Amino acid sequence: MSKNFIIKNATRDDIPTIFSFIKELAQYEKLEHEVVATPELLQETLFGDKAYAEVVIGYLDNSPVSFALYFHNYSTFLGRPGIYLEDLFVRPEFRGKGIGRRMLSYLGHLAKSRNCGRLEWWVLNWNKSAIDFYKTMGAKPMDEWTVFRVTEQSLDHLALTFEKDSL
């Protein structure tokens, strides 16, 4: 790893860079059609009165080459917080240089310094290179779990059901 690589906490001034990384990640994952985030939403949700997540940016020779967006979750079984890594992205031309390893180890260090019991994330099943990389870092797939998600109309319906039941 180059000594010219540093990781910095993102600030409001980094919103254009963060947004660019999000679009690049979506393109890599073939999910561009799902990006509805805007710089304005990032301003509000990452740096507004209530920040919901944190971002670090990796710089090589003062140029942004990677980012990680994460937030705290909580394990009732451990009785401790954890860090959930929503996104880790290294620009393709900088892969294989130890940047992803450095970013992930930074998050591990951060988790330990915050007394977290775990660091976890999801990876798309087709992303074999990422899966192989994560395994070299000691990560273990949680194959016995199935992810469930409620969005859009289903989320609206779920919320309305609560409201109706509360009357």
- Residue numbers annotated as active site: 134
Rounded Cα distance between 125 and 117, Å, is: 25
- The H-assigned helical ranges of the chain are 15-28, 39-47, 99-113, 128-136, 152-165
- Taking CA atoms, 25 is separated from 2, 20, 40, in Å, by 23, 9, 19
Indicate the length of the chain as a whole number.
167
Q: Which residues pair with 54 in a beta bridge?
A: 70
Closest CA to 94 of 67, 69, 65: 65
Indicate the pairing of strand 63-75 with strand 119-121: unpaired
Structure tokens at 52: 């919901």
